[in-house]
Amino acid sequence: MENIIECKNIFKSFKMGKLEVEVLKNITLNIKKGEFVSVMGPSGSGKSTLLYLLGGLDVPTSGSIKINDKELSIMKDKEQSILRRRDLGFVFQFYNLIPNLNVEENILLPILLDGENVKNYETDLDEILEIVGLKERRKFTPKELSGGQQQRVAIARALINDPDIILADEPTGNLDSKTGDEILELFKKINELKNKTIVQVTHSVDAAQYGSRVIHVKDGKITES
């Protein structure tokens, strides 16, 4: 099966004044279409950094990343943005919602940005709201929601555009185990039924079990996979 994500010899370092901290050290990683990968590792090992690189939110110091056979580093901002809104769904460690938009508007953001008519997505929206259980709160603004509810909005936003890849950074970290399990079930379902590729970072061994493969990161290196 073809690789939907290909990373070759990625290095990532941050400049802290004169000091240069190397966070990712020579990471090579291929993820096939339809895989559900869990990334595990101690805090500070570089998991989030890796995930941001895969989504094109940051650029590696060296090395190449290909999504769908396209090299990220040579893409223009506009192409990358289009990639993000059509082919990628992001769920962050800290739920990231726009405070002055309501639940519905937050979820529909990628559609709005694509300049599409949101009316065509009404059924999709209803379906997703049903899945994340926020049907009654569709007109609420983020500050009127609990942390878990906000995370579910973020997940709904990652799903609305039916992306090929979902990148999730500890998506269930802030949820109770029951809701967490529901979300992971949902991930598993869309992974199996729609053949979506999912990469999730997690600390929980249980959560990692939902995936088809586990990658361990330690000190910026992949130790086993």
Partner 1 sequence: MKIFIKFLLRNILEKKLRTLMILFSIVLSTALVFSTLAISGTVKEMMTSQLRKYTGSSEIVIQKNPQSLGSPFFELKEINEFDDKMDYMIGNIQGFALYPEDSEQQVHLAGFTLEDLETLYNVSFTELDESQTFSNNKAIIGEGEANKLGVTIGDTIELMINQQTESFTIMGIAKPEGIFRYDGENLSIIVPKDTLASIYDASGKVNTIYIKTNDIEVNDLIDLLVEKYQDEDDFMVRTTITTLQIEQSTGSLTSTFSLMLIVVVFISIFIIYTAFKVITMERLPIVGTFRSIGATKKMTDIVLLGESFIYGVIGGVLGCLLGVGILNIMINSMAYNPYTGVTSEVTLVFGFEHFLISFLCALILSVFSALFPIIKVSKMPVRNIVLNQIKVVSENKKIRFTMGLILLIAPYLILILLDRPSIIICGLCIILVGCAIVMLVPLVTKYFVYVFEKVNQFIFKNEGALAAKNLRDNKGIIQNITLLTIGIASLILVNAVTQSIMEEVVNVFSDAKFQLIFQHEKADETYENQLRQIEGIDDVNGNYTALNVKVADRNDYIGFVWGVDAVHYFKFWDFEFNRHHNELFNELSEGRNVIISEIIRNKLELEMNDLLTLVMNNQEVSFKVIGFCNSPLNNGNFIFMDENYLKQDAKINYMTDIMIKTNHPKDVIERIKTTFQGENINIMDMDEQKQFNIEQNDQMFRLLEGFSVVIMLIGTFGIFNNFVVSYISRKRSLAIYRSVGMSKNQVFKMLNIEALSCGIVGGLTGAVGGVLFIIISNYIMKAMFMPVSVEFSSSLLISAIFMGIIVSVLSALIPSLRSKKLSIIEAIKYE
Ligand X SMILES: Nc1ncnc2c1ncn2[C@@H]1O[C@H](COP(=O)(O)OP(=O)(O)OP(=O)(O)O)[C@@H](O)[C@H]1O
Alpha-carbon dihedral sign for residues 59, 165, 172, 161: positive
Does 48 interact with ligand X (rule: CB under 6 A)? yes
- In sequence order, the 6+-apart residues with CB closer than 8 A to the CB of 215 are 29, 37, 38, 39, 40, 222, 224, 225
Residues 24-63 that bind partner 1 (CB under 8 A): 52, 55, 57-58
CB of 115 to partner 1, least distance (A): 5
Does 172 interact with Mg ion (rule: CB under 5 A)? no
CB of 29 to ligand X, least distance (A): 15
Q: Taking contact as CB under 6 A, which single stretch among the options 45-53, 98-106, 122-130, 135-143 is the one that binds ligand X?
A: 45-53
CB of 74 to partner 1, least distance (A): 16
Does 17 interact with partner 1 (rule: CB under 8 A)? no
Q: How far apart are CA 96 and CA 191, in angstroms?
A: 23
CB of 56 to Mg ion, least distance (A): 17
CB of 110 to ligand X, least distance (A): 24
CB of 166 to partner 1, least distance (A): 12
191: its two tokens: 């992974």
Does 48 interact with Mg ion (rule: CB under 5 A)? yes
98: its two tokens: 């726009």
Of residues 20 and 192, the one with the C-beta less far from ligand X? 20
Q: How far apart are CA 113 and CA 155, in angstroms?
A: 17
Of residues 45 and 208, the one with the C-beta less far from partner 1? 45
> Furthest-apart CA pair in the chain: how many Å?
53
Strand, coil or helix: 224: strand
- For residue 153, give the amino acid letter: V
Angle of CA points 181, 186, 187, to nearest 5°: 100
- Long-range contacts from 72-80, C-beta under 8 angstroms, 24+ separation: 80/56
Provide the binding-site residues for ligand X, judged by CB under 6 A: 14, 16, 21, 23, 41, 43-49
Provide the binding-site residues for partner 1, judged by CB under 8 A: 52, 55, 57-58, 77-78, 80-86, 88, 90, 92, 94, 96-101, 105, 109-110, 112-115, 143, 157
